[in-house]
Amino acid sequence: MLLIIGVIIVALANCKRKSTQNIYYSKTEGVHAAFYNSFGDRIAVSTTQGNLLLLDTQLNIIKKINTKQGNATSSFFSLNDSFIITGGIDKSLCIWDSKTLERRGRYVTDFYLYASIYGVQTFGGSGTEGRFIMYNHALKDTFSTTLEKEGAYHLYYCIPDSVVVVGSGHKGFQIDICNKKIVNEYLSHTGQVYCIMPSNSLEFVVSGAADSTVKIFNRNSGELLSSSDKLDGEVYVCCFNHNDSIVAASTSSGYIYLFDNQLKHIKKKVKAFETLINGFHYSPDGSRMVAVSEGGGMKIYSTKTWQVLYELKSGDY
């Protein structure tokens, strides 16, 4: 059983993302993140009231708990599907059994977690003041660093347990967590980078930012390859689809944009919510997308027709 406890005591940080999402917190329970597991038969969802939900593929609630982490800002399955990792304003990373939602471990940091990931033997997160931390529970080893002071809002594995990309400030970073060093930077955005993701081929990274643009870089050289025109709001999530033929991006205006893989043409523009979309995730086979709104609610779309297949409205979870 995984049981990890680390404690670092610091003065309380008072740094929150400056966006329209904050106005919804007192009105309704918003949804911050949603992820499929590797089989595509379960979805983990975190909410602005600290709830963690385990859902099936039709958005039926299987399990629900309150993490007691305040605004639970992530809900990422470990790569072997055994656990779900969450972060929140209580400055801790919590590890939950992915079937029972029983807590299996807690790792306390000294910053508010905006995002978290779990590989096989490593897990970590990023957050306020550009803080980034990874813990190797097999080696009992910790790597932490500070990136850009504006905050680090997203991270994702390129190579599990070895290399990650992190968005912080106006930059993207590629970090070798085994050798504990930054190996590349991705420069071009003029606003806070909210999301950065590798392509499935690992040849590229795509990033979205508060400057309302999406950009694609060569992962190894850092060269900027393409950039979108300005969209209708800040870009909170972006990624390639399962075969790297499409780049999807969501905005603070509630739209999902679907680009060709060079960002030259908008293939589809979907009005998914009235409020900002802070999370979406393709199913492993690419046939569906789950999208969630910071203003409340979640939907599953067919990526063939872009019709809503299932919906869970605010107040029903």
94 DSSP β-pair partners = 86, 106
Give the residue among 248, 249, 255, 258 at the shortest CA–CA distance from 273.
255
* pLDDT score at 149: 96
pLDDT at residue 28 in the model? 85
Query: How many CB atoms are located within 10 Å of the residue 244 CB?
Result: 15
Residue 223's CB: how many other CB atoms inside 10 A? 11
Cα 166 to Cα 280: distance, rounded to the nearest angstrom = 18
Q: pLDDT tens digit string along 140-181? A: 999 999 999 999 999 999 999 999 999 999 999 999 999 999
Distance CA 165, CA 172 (A): 7
Note the pTM of the prediction, 2 decimals. Answer: 0.90
The pLDDT tens digits of the residues spanning 249-290 come to 999 999 999 999 999 999 999 999 999 999 999 999 999 999
Please check whether residue 209 is in contact with residue 234, taking contact to mean a CB–CB distance below 8 angstroms.
Answer: yes
What digits encode the pLDDT tens for the residues 6-30? 322 222 222 334 333 333 444 789 9
End-to-end CA distance of the chain: 30
